[in-house]
């Protein structure tokens, strides 16, 4: 039987290795492969592919420290985690950040919190109740 539905997401990165390390640590995604220009994290049927932005474009992108949150994008990656508190610490250690605990909320039987990666991309984590 063929799997139908969303099978993954693609995220473009200025610093491929940094985002691979971030998402493998924060979302606990297994690194399946890292090749020239892209990496595959997670397992089928749901994988995250991180693609290196071409150098000529990447050179024109300035990532501040800390990164400016990119709130104007219409897409947000969502990851299921066991413990939001530990992810909050891991995100900070890896150059990103999670919103403070007072900004968590409930959604569909889970505790939810947004954060951003080292390049400012917004993501969400969900911890089942």
pLDDT given at position 121: 97
pLDDT in tens, 106-127: 999 999 999 999 999 999 999 9
Task: Give percent helix, percent strand, percent coil of the chain, each to the nearest 5.
Answer: 20, 35, 40
pLDDT in tens, 13-66: 999 999 999 999 999 999 999 999 999 999 888 899 999 999 999 999 989 888
2 pLDDT higher than 80: no
Name the CATH superfamily, with its identifier, for domain 8-55+69-128.
2,3-Dihydroxybiphenyl 1,2-Dioxygenase, domain 1 (3.10.180.10)
pLDDT given at position 28: 95
pTM summary value = 0.91
User: 52 forms bridges with which residues in the sheet?
Assistant: 13
- Return mean pLDDT, the chain: 93
User: 48 forms bridges with which residues in the sheet?
Assistant: 9, 41
Q: Pairing mode, if any, of strands 38-43 and 31-35? A: antiparallel
Provide the residue ranges of all domains of the chain, joining segments of one domain with +. Answer: 8-55+69-128
* Short-list 40, 42, 119, CA closest to 78: 42
Residues with Cβ within 8 Å of 15's Cβ and at least 6 positions away in sequence, in order, are 63, 118, 119
Residues 57 and 51: their CA atoms lie apart, in Å, by 13
The count of other CB atoms within 10 Å of the CB of residue 118 is 21
User: b/e per residue, 60-70, with b = 16+ CB within 10 A?
Assistant: eeeeeeebebe
């Amino acid at each position: 039987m063929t799997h139908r539905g969303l099978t993954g997401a693609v995220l473009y990165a200025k610093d491929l290795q940094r985002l691979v390390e971030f998402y493998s640590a924060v979302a606990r995604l297994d690194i399946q492969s890292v090749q020239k220009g892209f990496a595959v994290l997670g397992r089928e049927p749901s994988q995250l592919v991180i693609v290196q932005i071409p150098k000529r474009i990447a050179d024109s992108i300035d990532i501040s420290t800390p990164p400016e949150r990119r709130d104007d994008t219409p897409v947000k990656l969502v990851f299921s985690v066991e413990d939001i508190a530990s992810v909050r610490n891991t995100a900070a250690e890896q150059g990103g950040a999670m919103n403070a605990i007072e900004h968590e909320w409930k959604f569909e039987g889970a505790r939810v919190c947004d954060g951003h990666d080292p390049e400012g991309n917004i993501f969400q984590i969900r911890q089942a109740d």
